[in-house]
Structures are given as C-alpha cells and as structure tokens.
Amino acid sequence: MDGLPTPGEHHLRLHRLAGTWEGPESISPSPFGPGGPASGRTVFSIAAGGLFVVGDYEERKEGRVVFRGHSVFGVDPGSGETCWYWFDSMGAPPPGPSRGRWDGDRLVLRSRFPQGEGRYTYELLGSDAYRFVLETSRDGSTFHTAMTGEYRRVG
C-alpha cells in the first residue's frame, strides 16, 4: 500500500504505552464524589497501522467498577502535537482533543472546556511503570490535582 503514512518518532513514543497497566490511584473529593483511594486498570493497544494508540480504562473502588473510559492518542501531522480524545462513563463527548508535547519521558496535554481547563501528565518511569496526574483549573493558571495514579505493566 504505497502512499500511506507511517509512524514517526512521536507515534513511537506513544507505542511505549501499549500493554496492560494496573495500579493505585488517589482521587480528590469533587462534585462527582467523595474521593479517596481507588485502583485503575488500562489496556492500551497500537491501532490503525501504528498511527494511533487506543486504551480502555476501569476505575475500581471497594472491589467494584465505578468509572470507565476510552482514549485515543494520535499525532497532528501539521503541528507534531500529541492529540488525546477521551470518552467516559459520564456520557458527554469531548469538545475536542487535549493537545500537548513530549518533554523527555513526560507528555503534558491540556484542554479547555466550559468550566475551565484540564492538564493531564503521563510520565513514563522506565519501561514498566508510569505516573498519571489529572489537574483542573477554573482560571487556566491555578491548578488543583483531581487524581493521581501510579501504574505498573502487568501484561
């Protein structure tokens, strides 16, 4: 198939997420719930000829699934930015992708929504662990940590 795009450097960084990951999470209290400890499991796979990485996520509290999500990572060929689309069991479609860039082994993405802004950090800790931090802001400058997770590769 001549003429099809092939994965570049930014795609290959995303490929490092491929696999099954599990780990403890800390959820901050919010209008959606009281917060507290949780555990997360994500299965990431490489898709569409290596141009995307897709993931399915489950959050558990007290042994039962309380939240689900589906993510699609890709690279904007014009800007080179990583784009992340997130869909979850809250039911609202994303207004657009979160966008960001790699800085070494850290990918920081940002998005805007009617209530403010989100900042999402994936930090690769070697080949078998990563840290995720979800932060929110009403003004775009002061961020509140809504969730952190530390995940290990289990498959």
CATH code, domain carrying 72: 2.40.128.20
Quick one: pLDDT at residue 31? 78
For the beta carbon of residue 117, count every other beta carbon within 10 angstroms.
17
Quick one: pLDDT at residue 55? 98
Q: How many domains does the chain have?
A: 1
Asked, for residue 149, whether it belongs to a domain, the answer is: yes
Asked, for residue 63, whether it belongs to a domain, the answer is: yes
Asked, for residue 110, whether it belongs to a domain, the answer is: yes
Quick one: pLDDT at residue 107? 98
Asked, for residue 142, whether it belongs to a domain, the answer is: yes
Asked, for residue 4, whether it belongs to a domain, the answer is: no
Q: Alpha-carbon distance 96 to 129, whole Å?
A: 28
- Residue ranges for the chain with pLDDT beneath 70: 1-2
User: In whole angstroms, how far apart are CA 70 and each of 34, 57, 89?
Assistant: 23, 6, 9
Q: Which domain holds residue 58?
A: 9-153
Quick one: pLDDT at residue 59? 97
Asked, for residue 125, whether it belongs to a domain, the answer is: yes
Asked, for residue 1, whether it belongs to a domain, the answer is: no
Burial class (CB in 10 A: 0-12, 13-18, 19+), 141: exposed
- The two tokens of residue 59 are 């959050």
Output the pTM of the full model: 0.93
* CA diameter of the chain: 53
Quick one: pLDDT at residue 24? 98
